[in-house]
A and B are shown apart, each in its own frame.
Chain A
């Protein structure tokens, strides 16, 4: 009788690639069961069935049927996702299909992505949908979806599942669920019990400390007092050529000192006292791990971390790049440097640099320090895109390819020059720089550029005339707001969250209304939640504890810690916190409700005052017609009837900008599938009135 093997992948695209790779052994046919696609490959002596999950099909939930608003909840279990969340019919059918395909199978292989999530997805399906097959299943390990690597992984699977990764994955989900459910319900319920209005509030093991970073930064900005300082800028002429010079002291903190320097040097002629030049070796960048890719994609294209991750995953599923959820900056020789470069040299835009690297005798990438036991750094597979990539995909792909090429290139050499000019006891500096060897910079363009300031030949003793000297008054700047890239980097430095979850946490902060803007601004709700957590349960937003817990969970991966112990510790830590929150429900609810009310009021209150009575203008809804409009809050006090019409459809936002024509606050309306409409309600009404009067006239 023919042997049969069931391969379980994480996503349908991955299943397709595996089926294509294994079709070398026999004909592959695509089939469907309950709407779930799968592939059947019949070889001489084996039937291989390749099916896939669609992400997580199981998730943690309260044991038994618990009321969703109750807390605390300590007893949990793993359930099929369709039993926990609404609208998961597709997931239910998918599970049914896998269960039917698993009947009578001899060999099971978990072929999901090789990381915590992939190991867990495969394990849950094998354990619960395949009748306990987790105990006999094998594990395929690969970092790219290229045919060669997939066939190798299939021919040499790991003999059993990676249970330490499974345990670490389970533990992370269980601990996050315990924290998320209990803390979020405590906040939401406190606000609900006080106001009888429902607002989704949340916090969690990683969310709390991350929110605190943003709030603390906002506090620094809010309480920042700028102080003055002066910089001296000069224009000097040496041998008939003018060039910019700066005073030897970068910042002068006393006005009179700055004035003294200007007075003593203006119109004077000094001499070149010293010439200095230095060579700097700029080593190539390390290959991308996920967070550096996300930071670089944000810097160059403004892509949010979740967006870059989504694009990179799409490129991985197209077999164009290696697995992107990696924290490694290492490129092992086993990935086949020459094969990849040869393949890249067939893509016209990379031909020149790939070929020049191939002509080198030895290829050695400049690796970074970070490692990942499961995957190498992100690299291009050398496969040419089979379809026309969308613009964002093309950008990320280009960035990854050029970064890969740059890591193999030589260092760049930059020469910096410093000319010291002396006039009396004052010294000024003229700085120049030039690139002697472009090295990797040429391969990484346009993502890396070095400005050059070429100085003419200058010698010691030459005359230098000060044509213009001025003191510029400046002020110290507040610390910059985080952007998504820098906040992700901070989370990584502080070791909170994982490469796979950090971007999601950031998204949640935006969704909950805790932060806004690309330069991340903490809202008043963020301040309130952070303040309440600090007052009633400081340990929840304590970075040190979160880091400690991360460490414990990482030790599970290496088999040095038991999952049960970590979950027990987490519950023991959480219990007194939740008790405290419960005891203070009323006060917490009151403060949260007030902040939510204020925030909602701020969202509908315009900055521009009423032009008729000076009261506040608000976005209101007519009780009679249900239509929204801008009305004056003075109506109840002084009977002011000022009003402006508003668009009736789409999401309305009051912008920070004012109209150039009349100075009234601008509004934005976003309607699905259309470009956002920015308009001035006052100018709109004036235009409407002039049209209607010209018609009637």
Chain B
């Protein structure tokens, strides 16, 4: 049986995700975090700015940084996934 790997690293991916456990959780944490950041800045924050800010912080986890970079790349490429990002 071929085990597929995470899009961002070599680890096996979860059954219902494109990512491994850590990157999948990082994605969920980013989603949750965005809601809190939006409230903190009174909606005055785009997803792109949010991801860029998160990337700059030293407290941000490594898997989150990798996921944030991945999402930013997708957005700059205008990939289909961009829709998902903006719908968060």
Contacts and interface: CB of A to CB of B under 8 A. Distances in A.
A binds B: yes
Given A222-B61, A222-B62, A223-B61, A228 B42 contact: no
A598 B11 CA distance: 12
A527 B9 CA distance: 13
Interface centre among A223, A226, A531 (most CB of B within 10 A): A223
Q: Is the interface of A mostly helix, strand, loop or mixed?
A: mixed
Interface in A529-569: 531
Interface string A217-257: 00101111111110000000000000000000000011110
B30 interface: yes
B41 A255 contact: yes
Contacts of B10: 594, 598
Interface stretch (A108-116, A439-447, A471-479, A616-624): A471-479
Given A475-B59, A476-B59, A478-B59, A228 B26 contact: no
Given A475-B59, A476-B59, A222 B26 contact: yes
A404 to B, nearest CB: 41
Contact of B61 (A225, A229, A598): A225
Contacts of B57: 226, 475
Contacts of B37: 227-228
A225 B60 contact: yes
Q: Is the interface of B mostly helix, strand, loop or mixed?
A: helix
Interface in B30-52: 30, 32-33, 36-37, 39-42
A223 B63 contact: yes
A225 B22 CA distance: 13
A595 to B, nearest CB: 9
Contacts of A531: 11
Contacts of A594: 10
B71 interface: no
A226 B37 CA distance: 9
A225 B64 contact: yes
Nearest to B68: A225
B25 interface: yes
Contacts of B62: 222
- The number of chain B residues touching the other chain, given as a range, is 20 to 34
Interface string B46-88: 0000000010010111111000000000000000000000000
B4 interface: no
Interface string A505-539: 00000000000000000000001000100000000
Contact of A254 (B22, B42, B59, B60): B42
Contacts of A475: 57, 59
A224 B10 CA distance: 21
B17 interface: no
Contact of B54 (A223, A225, A598): A225
A227 B30 CA distance: 10
Nearest to A228: B40
Contacts of A476: 59
B25 A229 contact: no
Contacts of B26: 222-223, 225
A468 to B, nearest CB: 24
Contacts of A224: 29, 59-61, 64
A227 B29 contact: no
B60 to A, nearest CB: 6
Contact of A219 (B22, B40, B60): B22
Contacts of A229: 40
Given A222-B22, A222-B61, A598-B10, A254 B40 contact: yes
Contact of B60 (A226, A253, A527, A598): A226
B25 A223 contact: yes
Nearest to B41: A255
A223 B30 CA distance: 9
Nearest to B36: A227
Nearest to A219: B22
A249 to B, nearest CB: 14
B25 A253 contact: no
A221 B22 CA distance: 10
10 contacts: A222-B62, A225-B26, A225-B32, A225-B64, A226-B54, A227-B33, A227-B37, A228-B41, A254-B39, A477-B59
Interface of A: 219, 221-229, 253-256, 475-478, 527, 531, 594, 598
10 nearest interchain CB pairs? A225-B33, A226-B59, A224-B61, A222-B63, A222-B61, A223-B25, A227-B36, A225-B29, A223-B26, A223-B29
Given A228-B41, A253-B39, 4 more contacts: A224-B29, A227-B33, A253-B40, A256-B42
